[in-house]
Structure 1
Amino acid sequence: MTTTPGLDVVTLLPALIPLAGVVIVLVADLVVPRFRGFPYALAALASLGAAGAAVPGVVGGAGAVRETFCMTGGWFAFGPGPGAPSYSQAQAATECLWRAGTLGSSLQLGAGLAAAVCLALAWPSVRGRSAEVSREPVEAVLFLTALTGTVVVAASRDLGTWLVALELATLPVIALVALSGTRAALAGAMQLLVTSLVSFALLAVGAALWFLATGAPFFSRDAALAAGHVSQGGTALAAGQQPSVALLSLSLVLILAGLGFKLSLVPFHAWTPTAYACSTPAVATFLATVSKVGALAALLVVVQALAALSTPGLIAVAVLAAASMTLGNLMALRQDDVVRLLAWSTVAQAGWVVLPLVSVSPLGQRSAAIYLLTYVAATLVAFAVVARTVREVGSRGLSTAAYGGLWKRSPWRAGALALALTSLAGLPPGVIGLVGKVVALRPVIVEGWVWLAVIAAGNAVLGVAVYLRWLRPVVNPSEAEAAAAGEPAGPGVSPTGRRLAITMALVGSALVLLVVSVQPQLLLGLFGS
């Protein structure tokens, strides 16, 4: 094994910038400890910097790949088994620990922008703080650390970095859930921790089976080819090595189960409503957006490696997608708490995110990423409206009744919420949501999964009922809803700085959603669709 000359620091900037932000936040807290919003401002700038550093990989085109930490030879000296050619015999290729194509860079960009919105939603309520309290820098550091893990996992190609980055993206969020200190928050954090441990165990075993099947410590196309006993020319190799293919399939199933916890796929979803409901709006938003970007990015790393085998559609993915869409929508229909509604919406939308992966192909991968970014943009707007409402009217803002007559009281906020909900439902004016659903269904139809396409279409209709149930009182409230929404705000009214930060987050995310709804090709063009 040899290392290629030089280290491309520019390629690593999406991860290095939030790491530098962690250090700057901690140092700044020592120098100017009195300003509560300062850590969040620095962390938001670092998140935007990470997003900006990913832009060259996004605009470089479908063939642009940014890679570093590259090595050549030696890893596959033992091969996948007796009689099968080693990887080095198949191809003496260079493997890179960091490899971000257009797909990975786009997810890094989305994660950075979403993290900046979450940090704005977390802006503190009071200007100053006592010398004993240090929650703000701790929260900012935890947000940035989780973002770093998300960015790294999207580009990691070796098993060790992939596993560590996944946990780096998860463990800080558990601490963020627990940080509010309430009994409900501690219970939710404990449930999330147990879920994370089970998930990590499944992922570790899946990664071990991958190494056993391929002899490679990389998720790579050539490693999968070696395990599949397919030469560069497509010639089938030793038939006696089929156990390696079985191990590879089992590895995929375990990895899918482990990431199913993080994606909130049924039946691994139980933690989602509890964790969302007991978290602050900012942390719930992070769980619903940035954490989901990291989970899909990790799954796409594996799927990209397996795509070389031209594997047919996966029945496990199909079942998980159908079950998640159906259960998520049915449970969301029963919710009057908007955060729990968005939690069950996450479960349903997770089914749509993995739906295109029944086609283990570049088309399926692009479609999954496009749908995820569409979901993230709409969910950010919805949670920003909730955060603004909660800060104005207190805990009553968690009820759908609190949004009765919002169109008359605050037309711009009602318009933003309408755009977000119609995007999630796949209805105009949220055109990007409709486009996302069409894009997600295309690989399913191409692969011939008729029954799955029928279930997805039925759930698209069911999803319309879910989101219109929340949107109805916004436009046409009942007398009870109008009376509840018109009660005095009381002590929940937010200070100017807090209100301004949330407003900026809402306006910024709503503008992005509006632009891609008017011009969907701006998003589709990133992936060459």
Structure 2
Amino acid sequence: MTALPSAGLIDLDYWVLAPVLAPALGALLVLVVDAIAPRARGLHLPIGLTSLGAGLGALPYSVASATPTRTLCTPGPEGRCFYETGPTGLTLQLIALAASLLVLLMLGPGTRHLDRMQRGGAAVTVALVLAATAGAAMVVAARDLPTWLVAIELATLPAVALVALSRGRGAEGGALSLLMVSLTSFALLAVGIGLWVLATGDASFSTDTLRVAFDYPERHRVLLLAILFLVAGLGFKLSAVPFHTWTPQAFVVADEPIAAYLATVSKAAAVGAAIVVLGPLVSLTAMGRDDADSIRLVVGVLAAASMTLGNVLALRMDDPLRLLAWSTIAQAGWVLAPLAMLTPSAVSASVAYLLVYVLGSLAVFGVTAAVHPRAEGAGGRSLAAYLGLARRSPLLAVVLGLGLLALAGLPPAVVGVVAKIAAIGPVVATGQWWLVAVLVVNIVLGIAVYLRWLLYAVRPAPADAPTTRGERLDPGLLIALLVISAALILLSLLPGLGLGLAR
């Protein structure tokens, strides 16, 4: 693929970088427009949607290459590329950009959320979403340690501001919790990076230097410690147990579309970061070397603990956003379980599951945005609000059903069934039967979690219940729900399409 030279020092291909540059430039343009024309409030959201659409439109340029697409390369035979995207990275960029676009649609246009539920004005909210999305798109392709660390923090810190700007009760406390977790995560990641450089002598995620480090016992131990620190730091981003405590606190105080962003785009960035870290180990395993048993065990235990605790506590929740927070923790376990196997097929299975999880979660969060029209905050929402939903708003009930069934892995949302099978496959192939048993138990627990909510929607409301108002489908929210539903139906009819994207 042709690259554009820049001053003879580094090769740049702006088309390859477009999924990162488009939202970054969009955020800058939104702020410039707001400074020049503060009364032009109607321009901010279209600029955000256009920039995300441009990033999505640039992805086919990289897809056309049969080999990994590289840029930011130093010249010469010993040159290195600091930006590389293969099929997995492109799928993660697709997930991050598309999910962000859908979140912006849920916020506006024509919805109450952007103007009434977020402080600071439309420009600030849109710019923060775009900036975080640029970080999420960058982290999956960064191959040097400093850029990777900056990208993962860029994907996180704007989310803290988005929670703080929500008008829900307790938003400041939720944002403070998320900020403290982000600082702790950054410290762990920084220590892990330092140990990685100490063990490998290399400031990039390279299979060659990793192989050399594994061959020396002293370096081997330091490298394992580095990976454990990196996994712990990313555990906060993934909401994996025991690094999960911020998740319910942040979700319940945020506006529903902002909580949807935390549950989807932020998780896509974290999964991408984890794949970049574990990618060299996957390559070593594919070569027949078994140097990472301890890493496989640690990540597997994190996955098992996350899905089990998440599902058990989600069964006890009455607040829909608190339930979704614990559901996010449980689903993080499902994404981690195949990734823990450190095989190429496991990476594809993890990304395929993430794709289905993001679609299902966006569907459910979109419905909660319609059912709960005010800034209720912590304790202001209840599953009782969904009683009689199927009768008074059939469209919302159908979308909710599709999302919940996809997350549960039940037909007619066949894509959820396929995703569960894809996630279990690498675990079975690797012979980790204890983890297979945990996965099977959590399939049953997950079904109970999501069917419990769905039963509220199909049951009629009590005759003496007050009339429920607020399910007004604003234009942006309606478009988002229709797009999400169409995607879930299409992937259920053609489940191989989702698996093909991940591969």
After TM superposition, the score normalised by the length of structure 2 is 0.91
Q: Compute the displacement of 1:376 (Å).
A: 0.4
- Check whether the contact 1:393–1:493 (CA below 8 A) recurs between aligned residues: no
Structure 1's unaligned 5+ residue stretches are: 74-91, 230-240
Q: Compute the displacement of 1:54 (Å).
A: 2.3
1:413/1:226 Cα in 2 relative to 1: closer, same or farther (>3 Å)? Answer: same
- 1:208 aligned to which of 190, 194, 197: 194
Q: Which moved more, 1:92-101 or 1:25-34?
A: 25-34
SS at match of 2:14: coil
SS at match of 1:11: helix
Cα deviation, 1:131-165, whole Å, max 9, x if unaligned, reads xx852101111000000110110100000000001
Mapped pair 1:302 → 2:277: yes
- 1:350 aligned to which of 332, 341, 350: 332
Aligned to 1:235: none
1:337/1:4 Cα in 2 relative to 1: closer, same or farther (>3 Å)? Answer: same
Partner Cα separation in structure 2 for residue 98 and residue 256 of structure 1:
22
Partner Cα separation in structure 2 for residue 522 and residue 156 of structure 1:
27
Partner Cα separation in structure 1 for residue 380 and residue 492 of structure 2:
27
Which amino acid counterpart does residue 487 of structure 1 have in structure 2?
Answer: T
Mapped pair 1:150 → 2:136: yes
Aligned to 2:492: 517
Aligned to 1:473: 456
Aligned to 1:164: 150
1:398/1:37 Cα in 2 relative to 1: closer, same or farther (>3 Å)? Answer: farther
Mapped pair 1:12 → 2:17: yes
1:126/1:412 Cα in 2 relative to 1: closer, same or farther (>3 Å)? Answer: closer
- Check whether the contact 2:356–2:416 (CA below 8 A) recurs between aligned residues: yes
- Check whether the contact 1:358–1:443 (CA below 8 A) recurs between aligned residues: no
Cα deviation, 1:340-363, whole Å, max 9, x if unaligned, reads 111100000000000002211211
Q: Which moved more, 1:93-102 or 1:500-509?
A: 93-102
Partner Cα separation in structure 1 for residue 282 and residue 114 of structure 2:
54
Partner Cα separation in structure 2 for residue 306 and residue 66 of structure 1:
21
1:483/1:300 Cα in 2 relative to 1: closer, same or farther (>3 Å)? Answer: farther
Mapped pair 1:280 → 2:255: yes
Aligned to 2:443: 460
Q: Compute the displacement of 1:302 (Å).
A: 1.0
Q: Compute the displacement of 1:125 (Å).
A: 4.8
- Matched ranges for 1:29-178 at <5 A: 29-58=34-63, 60=65, 63-71=66-74, 93-123=78-108, 125=111, 134-178=120-164
1:493/1:366 Cα in 2 relative to 1: closer, same or farther (>3 Å)? Answer: closer
Q: Compute the displacement of 1:402 (Å).
A: 1.4
Partner Cα separation in structure 2 for residue 309 and residue 128 of structure 1:
47
Mapped pair 1:23 → 2:8: no
Aligned to 1:88: none
- Check whether the contact 2:23–2:51 (CA below 8 A) recurs between aligned residues: yes
Partner Cα separation in structure 2 for residue 275 and residue 146 of structure 1:
17
1:493/1:527 Cα in 2 relative to 1: closer, same or farther (>3 Å)? Answer: closer
- Check whether the contact 1:199–1:259 (CA below 8 A) recurs between aligned residues: yes
Partner Cα separation in structure 1 for residue 443 and residue 46 of structure 2:
39
- Check whether the contact 1:178–1:188 (CA below 8 A) recurs between aligned residues: yes
Partner Cα separation in structure 2 for residue 155 and residue 17 of structure 1:
15
- Check whether the contact 2:311–2:327 (CA below 8 A) recurs between aligned residues: yes
Partner Cα separation in structure 2 for residue 369 and residue 151 of structure 1:
14
Q: Compute the displacement of 1:258 (Å).
A: 0.4
Aligned to 2:4: none
Aligned to 1:258: 233
Aligned to 2:3: none
1:120/1:127 Cα in 2 relative to 1: closer, same or farther (>3 Å)? Answer: closer
Q: Compute the displacement of 1:114 (Å).
A: 0.2
Structure 2's unaligned 5+ residue stretches are: 1-6
SS at match of 1:228: helix
- Check whether the contact 1:51–1:110 (CA below 8 A) recurs between aligned residues: no
- Matched ranges for 1:233-252 at <5 A: 241-252=216-227
Larger Rg: 1
Partner Cα separation in structure 2 for residue 248 and residue 309 of structure 1:
14
CA RMSD of aligned residues (A): 2.4
Which amino acid counterpart does residue 371 of structure 1 have in structure 2?
Answer: Y
Aligned to 2:402: 419
SS at match of 2:138: helix
Q: Compute the displacement of 1:56 (Å).
A: 3.3
Partner Cα separation in structure 1 for residue 162 and residue 198 of structure 2:
36
Which amino acid counterpart does residue 28 of structure 1 have in structure 2?
Answer: V
Aligned to 1:430: 413
Q: Compute the displacement of 1:48 (Å).
A: 2.2
- 1:389 aligned to which of 348, 367, 371: 371
Cα deviation, 1:142-193, whole Å, max 9, x if unaligned, reads 0000001101101000000000011111011101111135661110111100
- Check whether the contact 2:236–2:244 (CA below 8 A) recurs between aligned residues: yes
Partner Cα separation in structure 1 for residue 496 and residue 100 of structure 2:
24
1:3/1:107 Cα in 2 relative to 1: closer, same or farther (>3 Å)? Answer: farther
- Check whether the contact 1:57–1:106 (CA below 8 A) recurs between aligned residues: no
Mapped pair 1:180 → 2:166: yes
- 1:378 aligned to which of 360, 365, 373: 360
Mapped pair 1:222 → 2:208: yes
- Check whether the contact 2:12–2:72 (CA below 8 A) recurs between aligned residues: yes
After TM superposition, the score normalised by the length of structure 1 is 0.87
- Matched ranges for 1:474-493 at <5 A: 474-477=457-460, 479-480=461-462, 483-484=464-465, 487-489=467-469, 492=470
Partner Cα separation in structure 2 for residue 318 and residue 56 of structure 1:
36
SS at match of 2:170: helix
Partner Cα separation in structure 2 for residue 517 and residue 393 of structure 1:
34
1:284/1:328 Cα in 2 relative to 1: closer, same or farther (>3 Å)? Answer: same
- Matched ranges for 1:499-518 at <5 A: 499-518=474-493
